[in-house]
Structure 1
Amino acid sequence: MTKLEQLLSQYAAYHLDHKNILTHFVGIPLIVFSIMCLTARAGVMVAGFEVTLALLIIAMTVIYYLSLDKIFGFLMLLIFAVSYPLSHMIAQWSMGAWLGASLGIFFVGWVIQFIGHFYEKKKPAFMDDVIGLAIGPLFVLAEVVFMLGFRKEIEQRMLGEARRQRALMDAKIVNIS
């Protein structure tokens, strides 16, 4: 099992309910976009080009995703390339409008996430392992790719391992009770 499959499986163990997964299709992009909006305001000019904190975070994230999987990493790069200009535009709004919109989007994204975990009856993955915060967007992308019928071999290995990990998690809860 590759590192990508291990990380996706660990994350998927907390996300086996389809209602929860569907909420993540909305919540995670909103959260990521809000973080881009919040960090796109801080920047410096370098050779006539504005380098923002958002761009640095995007670059580090894409490098990490590419190290896990070239295809998923490239797809995430495309998604960031399309969404960054809008986040940068929002970062140019007045302080109140920018902050209100960015924090509002962030809050709505998290509310949607927690609604999904209500259906799942499991806490979010990041509460046990902070890497879940970085894997969440990749998980959503992978789920879309799987739904489109691609990379099914990864999906099958991920789901098998996720179900095994979930069974172990559930067994621990029963033993503690």
Structure 2
Amino acid sequence: MKLFVLLLVGLSMALSGCLMSREARVESDYSFSGQFRRYRTYEFVSGDGIASDTSRLGEAVRDAIRTRMKVQGYRPAKRRPDLLVNFRLFEGTMRFRGYQQPDFSRWVKTGYADDDETPSDQRQGYSPVRMLLLDGTLLVTLIDNQTNRAVWNGYASGVSVPTGPQGELILRRSVRSIFDQYHIFTEGYLQGNNGGGSSE
């Protein structure tokens, strides 16, 4: 009987975790000036709150991001990283401006990116979309370290984070869901050669 009760409790906890992650809305947007094919290394932006090294929840997010970046061929670098990674957990509902854009993977595959020399009449246009994000939003931003511009945002809204290990698990799942929107592997990584820029 005890075994049955333990199995029932375990199953209900697993289902509640699935339901929480299923309710989260996951979206992303990107900059047309992002040089996604050349990014190979990254480092975290230091800060306060959840981004701080002393926060257990912050370290759970950081560790999940490290794992995902490694899987996609990116290497950590303290000195002159290509990308800076920032993340923040917002409480409450919030209004957010996203963008209606072509599919990210297809756009990167074209190899096109706006730069300072791109004539204004040939630049990609942004179509803003106003969104109401539900209570609790985890936002991950990738910043081009050379230009100091944000090149990619991924976010999950409706993320309810209880205290303790369950909260850490939910944040890890949210990071995985967010990075499912970022389909970029460093060039040659899938063939066993981790060098060069980035590609699908």
Structure-2-length-normalised TM-score: 0.27
Higher helix share: 1
Higher strand share: 2
**Which has the higher relative contact order, 1 or 2, with Cα contacts under 8 A spaced 6 or more apart?**
1
Q: Specify the structure having the higher radius of gyration (Cα).
A: 2
Structure-1-length-normalised TM-score: 0.30
